[in-house]
Amino acid sequence: MIPWLRRFCALLCLLLVLSPAVAYAEPTEEARALWVVRTDMYSKANIDFMFNLAKAMGANVLIVQVTAGGETVVRSELYPRSPHVVQGFDPLAYVIELAHAEGIEVHAWIN
């Protein structure tokens, strides 16, 4: 057998043996996510209540709905801001500030 072909076959066999172990590695941490609808983001009081509930439930990920129904709770050039959000208040920034202080991930969701 040609020497380079022997090395190639050996490498190919090694990759085939190791690839399932890499492909099916266990995640390092379990995701315990909580879906947060935009109506829970209208004020600091609503967010504080939701956030305390999320912590009590052991959530480590918040999936925050920021846009739906043709309006948004964040600053946007595409959608009008919800009239229910307190003027000058940035709900997403506030959620991120609280969550990161507790080691909780935040993912914004747009409908």
Residue 43: predicted pLDDT: 92
Which of 79, 61, 67 is CA-nearest to residue 41? 67
Query: Of all helices (H) and strands (E), which one includes residue 51?
Result: helix 44-57
Whole-number Cα distances in Å, 16 to 9, 21, 22, 24, 26:
10, 10, 11, 13, 19
Query: How do the pLDDT tens digits run along the chain, 111 residues long?
Result: 567 777 777 766 656 666 665 555 566 678 899 999 999 999 999 999 999 999 999 999 999 999 988 899 998 888 999 999 988 899 999 999 999 999 999 999 988
